Amino acid sequence: MADKLQLLKIGGKVLDDEALLAQVLTTFLHLEGRKLLVHGGGKRTSELSERLGLTPKMVDGRRITDAETLEVATMVYAGLFNKMIVSKLQSFGVNALGLSGADGNVIQAHKRPVKTIDYGFVGDIDQVDSAAINRLIQADFTPVFCAITHDGKGQLLNTNADTIAAQLAMALAPLYHVTLIYCLEKDGVLSDPHDDNSVIPELTPDTYAQHRESGVISAGMIPKLDNAFNALQVEVAEVVICGPQSFSRGGGTHLHR
């Protein structure tokens, strides 16, 4: 039986609220076995961009990453949030080590090709070096990944943190019994977006398809769930969608193959 590895992804509201973040990191600290964290950048990237006089460019709800926005993202994700999380985990006795995809060449990506939209310096992942990441895990470090990758030719790239989490989970699945945990704001996938208590406790590909068709599952949740079911098909043992509260109780929405 492979060792357990729990992979937690946090972002958005959790990163923006110091008390929530502390709560989530405390739950993370008590997880058994090997673990790994992935984070995005919350509102701070847009805030910093605005303070610098840059206008966040969005197309279809997606951020366009021009050269200046990439610099801001690199500063906020790889600098501010990554080091804040690492130092906080260290204070809890977790031997955290912060990583972008460039560090140790652990995640290599390519700039997304321009079709109708030029997303700018956005990277789609080509390969995850699970052996290098495992060397760090086996050396007793707890890797903390930010949402920055690189192309191996000296170009940093902005990559969706949910996707990084799913790709890491899939790459490490042959080595560990991997649980992928997405910690969002709400306590799980809701069947009624206006009722925080309407958490769907379990989802299978079939029930997910039904809920999608009937419009029960909100549009914003669909890319996350697609990523998650994709990961389950590539040997990831478990996927959980939860919030800070349900994470601490082992609750949330559990996804099964």
Among 43, 62, 135, 249, contact with a copy of itself (rule: CB under 8 A): 135
Whether the Cβ atoms of residue 138 and residue 88 lie closer than 8 Å to each other: no
Q: Is 141 in the site for a copy of itself (CB under 8 A)?
A: yes
DSSP-assigned beta bridge partners for residue 39:
10
Among 27, 46, 49, 74, contact with a copy of itself (rule: CB under 8 A): 74
Q: Is 218 in the site for a copy of itself (CB under 8 A)?
A: no
Closest among 91, 68, 71, 92 to 80, alpha carbons compared: 71
If binding means CB under 8 A, how many residues of this protein chain bind a copy of itself? 40
Choose one: 74-82, 186-194, 205-213, 224-232; the region binding a copy of itself (CB under 8 A): 74-82
Whether the Cβ atoms of residue 110 and residue 126 lie closer than 8 Å to each other: yes
With b for 16 or more beta-carbon neighbours within 10 A and e for fewer, the 30-54 pattern comes to ebeebbbbbbbbbebbbebbeeeee
Among 2, 62, 87, 250, contact with a copy of itself (rule: CB under 8 A): 87
Nearer to a copy of itself, 120 or 188 (CB): 120
Whether the Cβ atoms of residue 164 and residue 223 lie closer than 8 Å to each other: no
Q: Is 38 in the site for a copy of itself (CB under 8 A)?
A: no
Q: Is 210 in the site for a copy of itself (CB under 8 A)?
A: no
CB of 69 to a copy of itself, least distance (A): 13
Nearer to a copy of itself, 160 or 253 (CB): 160
Identify the H or E element spanning 22.
helix 18-30
Q: Return d(Cα 4, Cα 2) in angstroms, integer.
A: 6
CB of 104 to a copy of itself, least distance (A): 5
The per-residue DSSP string of 46-103 comes to HHHHHHTTPPPEEETTEEEB-HHHHHHHIIIIIIIIHHHHHHHHHHTT--EEEE-TTG
Among 7, 20, 37, 77, contact with a copy of itself (rule: CB under 8 A): 77
Q: Return d(Cα 54, Cα 225) in angstroms, integer.
A: 32
CB of 118 to a copy of itself, least distance (A): 21
Nearer to a copy of itself, 22 or 209 (CB): 22
Name the residues that contact a copy of itself, by CB under 8 A: 51-53, 71, 74-80, 82-84, 86-88, 90-91, 95-100, 102-105, 135-136, 139, 141, 148, 150, 152-156
